[in-house]
């Protein structure tokens, strides 16, 4: 078995997978487990607290806030694991880009409207500042690059796949 040829596209893909997967898994767990609180609240209460953070953005109706708070942490963990596995990467990286794009829009909107709120990104109280916008923007850029390169790589045959048998001339 030979290793795959290394290039800058694969470097970005690997970087994106590791960084974004780590961020997503950590963020999802932080919202469910609330290790910043002692004693730790049950998941139901942690979910309600996350719903309050989403609601402070004043973007969604209450039913949508409650549904998002219920499913987003699990989606973050699931998509993070799928990124690590690398199966159908172009599909999952597209989904991740959409999710991060949504976060980025919400954060930019709150920042420009001068909403004095917490980010809610990692559940613990963390004021939304210019640094939050910069961080989410960087993650969004990385996700976009990872997705574009993942699509490009998906069109090529896998470097570890067996070469096609030579056709007798």
| Cβ at position 17, least distance to another protein in Å | 11
Is residue 111 classed exposed, middle or buried when 0-12, 13-18 and 19+ CB atoms within 10 A define those classes?
A: middle
Q: Is 32 in the site for another protein (CB under 8 A)?
A: yes
Q: Is 156 in the site for another protein (CB under 8 A)?
A: no
**How large is the C-alpha radius of gyration of the chain?**
19
Per CB under 8 A, the list member of 81, 95, 133, 144 interacting with another protein is 81
Per CB under 8 A, the list member of 12, 91, 108, 117 interacting with another protein is 117
Per CB under 8 A, the list member of 12, 19, 43, 108 interacting with another protein is 43
Q: Is 159 in the site for another protein (CB under 8 A)?
A: no
Nearest to 99 by CA among 118, 130, 71: 71
What's the start-to-end Cα distance of the chain, in Å?
A: 28
Residue 80 and residue 29 in contact, taking contact as beta carbons nearer than 8 Å: no
Give me the helices (H) in the chain, please: 8-33, 43-55, 62-85, 89-112, 130-155
| Cβ at position 32, least distance to another protein in Å | 7
Q: List interacting residues with another protein (CB under 8 A).
A: 25, 29, 32-33, 36-41, 43-45, 48-49, 51-53, 55-56, 58, 62-63, 65-66, 77, 81, 84-87, 115-118, 125, 127, 160
């Amino acid at each position: 078995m030979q290793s795959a040829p290394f290039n800058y596209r694969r470097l970005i893909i690997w970087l994106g997978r590791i960084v974004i997967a780590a961020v997503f898994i950590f963020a999802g767990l932080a919202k469910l487990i609330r290790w910043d609180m002692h004693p730790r609240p049950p998941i139901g209460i942690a979910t309600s607290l996350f719903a309050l953070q989403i609601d402070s953005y004043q973007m969604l109706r209450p039913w949508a806030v409650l549904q998002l708070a219920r499913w987003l942490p699990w989606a973050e963990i699931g998509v993070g694991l799928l990124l690590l596995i690398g199966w159908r990467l172009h599909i999952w990286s597209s989904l991740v880009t959409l999710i991060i794009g949504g976060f980025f829009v919400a954060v930019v909107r709150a920042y420009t409207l001068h909403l004095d709120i917490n980010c809610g990104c990692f559940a613990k109280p963390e004021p939304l500042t210019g640094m939050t916008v910069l961080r989410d923007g960087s993650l969004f850029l990385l996700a976009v690059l990872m997705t574009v390169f993942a699509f490009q790589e998906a069109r090529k045959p896998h470097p570890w796949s067996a070469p096609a048998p030579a056709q007798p001339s």
